[in-house]
Amino acid sequence: MATTQERVEEQVDLQPARPGEKHRSLSEDVWRQFKRHKGAMIGLVLLAIVVLASVIGPFVYPLDPYDIDTSLANMNPTWTHPMGTDNLGRDVMARVLIGGRISLAVGFAAMLFGLFLGTAVGVISGFFKKFDGPLMRVTDLFLALPILPLLLVVIMLFRESLKDAFGENVGIFILVVFIIGVTSWMQTARVVRGEVLAIKEEEFVLAAHSIGTRKRNVVMRHILPNVLSPVMVSAALGVASAVLTESALSFLGLGFPADFPTWGRLLFDAKGYLQLNPMRAIWPGVMICLAVMSVNFIGDGIRDALDPKARSK
């Protein structure tokens, strides 16, 4: 008896592709729609500026962020120090630029980690009934954990051992990313689980099974793309809250070492001088604001661009 392959081969009559017909790919479609979203484009430009300033800025900007000169302490913005100086006479702009590297890196890394964890937990508990109960209880458990005390304990416990294993900064980076990720995946998991539960019952999932699709592929090809919109929104919110949490951690003095600038650390250092030199607190605050806002806009745009119905309009 002929195999499926042979029977189909027999019938396929290969037509040469007509020249001049351009193939549309999914990523092109998404990009075309994304470009039309004004807010998202503004967000993209803003984020690009913030990222470039943090990555390249410190190389271009002439002043050293660690250069102490107490004779220049607590200056207001001038031409040589566009954002003024801090209480030790260090240039605030240089510190804000270099501080962005860590804040953004932590923000994106923690978001990716939390997103991956949340989506995995959500999809598994939504799709496989037997895991639903246990996984959702674990989610509830994490939701019920008081974050700040947890952070305090974890940092106290693991700071030293990680510092020994990976060095001061890398160790803290891993710790901070891990903690923020581990404490921020629950919302994503819940949203994704809800979506998966609804989509699982759709007839197209049954149809996918009926053409012999593997369970794994049903999840990856048919269910996951349908939950991408809420995932993208959580991603955007995730970056934002991760940047904010990192700032809060540094602000509490729990994050990176005291002389290591991040946006949160800069805020923390500035708080004692709010009356003397208020501008010093505003600059890192503005940067956090810009980063968070632009990422939110981009998330919005991606969500719209991923929806084929919005795309065809």
Residues that bind another protein (CB under 8 A): 1, 4-5, 7-9, 11-15, 17-18, 21, 24, 26, 202-204, 206-214, 221-222, 225-226, 228, 306-309, 312
Report the distance separating Cα 104 and Cα 107, nearest Å: 5
Minimal CA–CA distance to 101: which of 57, 55, 63?
A: 55
CA 298 vs CA 31, 45, 46, 94, 227: distances in Å:
12, 10, 10, 27, 17
Rounded CA separation 102/276 (Å):
27
What gap in Å lies between CA 74 and CA 185, rounded to an integer?
41
Q: Is 128 left (phi over 0), alpha (psi -120 to 50) or beta?
A: beta
Give residue 39's Cα distance to chain centre. 18
